[in-house]
Amino acid sequence: MANMADVLLDLRNVRAGYGDSVVLDDLSLEVKEGESLAVLGRNGMGKSTLFLTIMGFTRLTGGSVSWRGEDITRLASHRRARLGLGWVAQEREIFPSLSVEENLIVMARPGPWNLKSAFELFPRLAERRRAMGNQLSGGEQQMLAIARSLMINPSLLLLDEPLEGLAPIIVEELAASIGRMATEHGTTIVLIEQHADVALSLTRKAVVLERGAIVHRAASEDLLADSKTLDRYLGLKLEVI
Amino acid sequence: MLGSMAGILFDGFAYGMLLFLLSVGLSVTLGMMNFINLSHASFGMLGGYVTVTLMQQLGWPFLATLPAAFVISALVGMVMERFMFRRMYRATDLDQTLLTIGVVFMSIAGAAYIWGTVQQPVVMPDYLSGSFLVGGVNIARYRLFLIVVALVITLLMIGGLEWTRFGAQIRAAVDNQRMARGLGLDVDRTFSLTFSLGSGLAGLGGALAIAMVGLDPGFAFAYLIYVLIVVSVGGLASIWGSFVAASLLGICDMAGKYYVPQLGSFLIYLMMVGILMWRPVGLFGKR
Ligand SMILES: Nc1ncnc2c1ncn2[C@@H]1O[C@H](COP(=O)(O)OP(=O)(O)O)[C@@H](O)[C@H]1O
Ligand SMILES: [Mg+2]
């Protein structure tokens, strides 16, 4: 039996979407403290919508969301962030009129993550600290988006396709950083990723989304070896890594 | 000739500083929440009447009424934002326009009811009256005072926006509200404070305006036009843009009335159309 106190985030029978359109239907998901979870699925299956729903940015019409056993279904987004939910948006959404350093400290909260540790994780950001948000390369923006969310010292980090559109060398570097966040810092991570192989090697558990519902749950290790399931839901044959 | 040109520049700049104080708040809140607050100049008018009332009824010295004009306009702004405007952020532009233009009419009727439709006389203290000559240019003390006050406030605001965490939070909310919320910013509260500050500054502008342009209930409309020109020419959410636009507007208006009086105020509209055709987002606007 799982200890209730260990459950950070609990979605039960959630139905949510935009305006009148329902994207997630009857979705249930549990994330425990210290866990790392990969969310896989083809484009348009509702992965980003899942994160937006957790953050309170979609229209929720059924089910409930709780945080450490407390109902947050109707809680304002900024309060969820203050409770410890960190969100890295798919589009990065760096503040263009803030410098790199300002992006990092504008909403920072006390904890192990501070400017120093963020710059240690991403030395490139230290070099660019005075640059404005709109002067960064794609890779730099991605690092900044992750570091900015870490600066609020979240208990749970939602990462939406952090490796998308980056050069292979940066993908490696970022993947290693994400791995370190999970293992060394014990940050609980939920990772949406198109590169299923990378996502599965960085996480312990995985779920597959299809048309707004979870259609498969597995240990990442097992799913990585299960090319039949991967092929069925993601339509990709994994090369041997 | 040169002397009169310098004099017009000086007077126009002083007038521009007045317009700057009256409009800068609207530029920031419009950029932040996309809320079309046509009643912004009404807060300026309120500040003017606060100063007039305190001086006439309670015998306060002019300088002491200025902080009061700021504070009362800021508080009224905060209350109206909380209970009326906040409900309208998601409404259409037309609904916002109709609501706030309604507030303008109410403020005009209210002012006329309480204070009458006459021009309010104020007597400036001696040290702010009269003028002196510098290199052949006639410098009115009061206008110099206006310029100094506006410059100090500009520096404070730019410094506050650029160098404080609260300023960075305002910029973040202007850039991307959803992300700011997602990181834990209480955007509603930030906006409420910003709105309140902007209303307070308008109130201060209104109080300072009386000695230069007078005060009657028509103020809320007359200056609405100027405020909108400053905001559109300067660009949204840009303090520096508002500053430059207000200076230009003040100087053009003065120069126009002096050199081509038959055109009247027409020159400033020409200027606005010209600048907006060249840069549709305004001089310093980003969108
Ligand atoms: N802002 C929005 N308004 C309306 N529909 C949206 C919006 N964002 C996404 N959708 C729709 O929701 C569905 C799921 O999208 P999304 O969650 O972004 O998928 P994924 O992240 O898995 O690629 C898609 O059909 C998409 O068209
Ligand atoms: Mg997505």
The predicted model gives B202-222 an average pLDDT of 93
- Beta-ladder partners of A158: A87, A190
Question: From residue B234, how far is each of B23, B55, B167, B194, B201 by CA, in Å?
Answer: 10, 34, 19, 19, 17
Average pLDDT over residues B4-19: 91
Examine residue A220 and state whether it is found in any structural domain, yes or no.
yes
Higher pLDDT, A106 or B239: A106
- In this prediction, residue A175 has a pLDDT band, given cuts at 50, 70 and 90, of confident
Q: How far apart are CA B98 and CA B84, in angstroms?
A: 13
Chain B contacts of A107, Cβ < 8 Å? 169, 172, 180, 183-185
Lowest mean pLDDT among A71-80, B23-32, B41-50, B243-252: B23-32
Domain contains A210: yes
Segment A117-130, tens digit of pLDDT: 999 988 999 999 99
CB B158 within 8 A of CB B167: no
pLDDT at residue B1 is higher than 70: no
Mean pLDDT across the stretch A170-193? 83
pLDDT tens digits, A19-38 = 999 999 999 999 999 899 99
CA–centroid distance, B127 to ligand 2, in Å, is 65
- From ligand 2's centre to the CA of B79, what distance in Å? 40
Residue A90 main-chain phi, psi, to 5 deg: -60, -40
A58–chain B Cβ distance below 8 A for any pair = no
As a whole number of angstroms, the distance between CA A85 and CA A70 comes to 14
* CATH code of the domain in which A21 resides: 3.40.50.300
pLDDT at B111: 95
- B212: helix, strand or coil: helix
Q: What is the pLDDT of residue B2?
A: 60
Residues 6+ apart with CB under 8 A from A68: A5, A7, A8, A83
Q: Where along chain B do its domains lie?
A: 2-118+148-278
Task: Enumerate the residues of chain A whose CB falls inside 8 A of the CB of residue B174.
Answer: 97
Helices of type H across B34-92: 40-58, 62-83
Pairwise CA distance, residues B265 & B277, whole Å: 19
> For an interface test with A, which of B171, B181, B236 has the most A Cβ atoms less than 10 Å from its Cβ?
B181
Using a CB–CB cutoff of 8 Å, tell me whether B173 touches chain A. no
For residue A240, what pLDDT band results from cuts at 50, 70 and 90?
A: very low
Between CA A25 and CA A166 the distance in angstroms is: 32
pLDDT tens-digit series, residues B156-209: 998 998 999 999 999 999 899 999 999 999 999 999 999 999 999 999 999 999
Instruction: Give the SS3 label for residue B139.
Output: strand
Q: Across all residues in chain A, what is the average pLDDT?
A: 90
Residues from chain B contacting residue A105 (CB–CB below 8 Å): 165, 168
CA distance A161 to A192: 5
Q: pLDDT (tens digit, 9 = 90+) per residue, A207-234?
A: 999 999 999 999 999 999 988 888 888 8
What atom in ligand 1 is closest to the CA of residue A209? Answer: 22
Q: DSSP H helical segments within B214-238, as ranges?
A: 219-234
Given this model, what pLDDT does residue B3 score? 65
Whole-angstrom distance, CA of residue B48 vs CA of residue B162: 30
Average pLDDT over chain B, rounded to an integer: 91
Residues near ligand 2 ion, CB 5 Å cutoff: A 48, 90
Q: Mean pLDDT over residues B147-153, rounded?
A: 94
Q: Is residue A208 part of a domain?
A: yes
Residue A128 lies in a domain: no
Q: Atom 25 (ligand 1): residue with closest C-alpha?
A: A44
Q: What is the DSSP code string of chain A?
A: ---GGGEEEEEEEEEEEETTEEEEEEEEEEEETT-EEEEE--TTSSHHHHHHHHHT-SEEEEEEEEETTEE-TT--HHHHHHHTEEEE-TT----TTSBHHHHHHTT--SSS--HHHHHHH-HHHHHTTTSBGGG--HHHHHHHHHHHHHTT--SEEEEESTTTT--HHHHHHHHHHHHHHHHTS--EEEEE-S-HHHHHHH-SEEEEEETTEEEEEEEHHHHHH-HHHHHHHH--PPPP-
Tell me the C-alpha distance between B103 and B221, whole Å.
11
Looking at residue B287, its pLDDT comes to 62
Model pTM score: 0.88
CB B195 within 8 A of CB B82: no
Query: Which residues form the domain of A18?
Result: 1-84+192-241
In a domain, A104, yes or no: no
- C-alpha A22 – ligand 1 centre gap (Å): 10
CB of A57 within 8 Å of any CB in chain B? yes
Confidence band for A5, pLDDT divided at 50, 70 and 90 = low
Distance between CA atoms of A1 and B21, rounded to whole angstroms?
64
Tell me how far CA of residue B175 lies from CA of A57, A204, B198, in angstroms.
17, 36, 18
Q: Which residues line ligand 1 (CB under 6 A)?
A: A 18, 21, 23, 41, 43-49
In the predicted model, what is the mean pLDDT of residues B265-272? 81
Q: What's the total number of domains in chain A? A: 1
pLDDT score at A4? 52
Under 8 Å between Cβ of A52 and A58: yes
**What is the tens place of the pLDDT at every residue in B94-112?**
999 999 999 999 999 999 9
Across the range B145-151, mean pLDDT stands at: 94
- Higher-scoring residue by pLDDT: A113, A239: A113
The pLDDT of residue A232 is 87
CATH, range B2-118+148-278: 1.10.3470
Tokens representing residue B6 in the block: 């310098």
Lowest model confidence (mean pLDDT) among B186-200, B231-245, B270-284? B270-284
- Which pLDDT band, with edges at 50, 70 and 90, does B59 fall under? very high
For residue A12, being part of any structural domain is answered with yes
Instruction: Tally Cβ neighbours within 10 Å of residue A124.
Output: 16
**Are A81 and B169 an interchain contact pair (Cβ–Cβ within 8 Å)?**
no
Regarding an ipTM greater than 0.85, the answer is yes
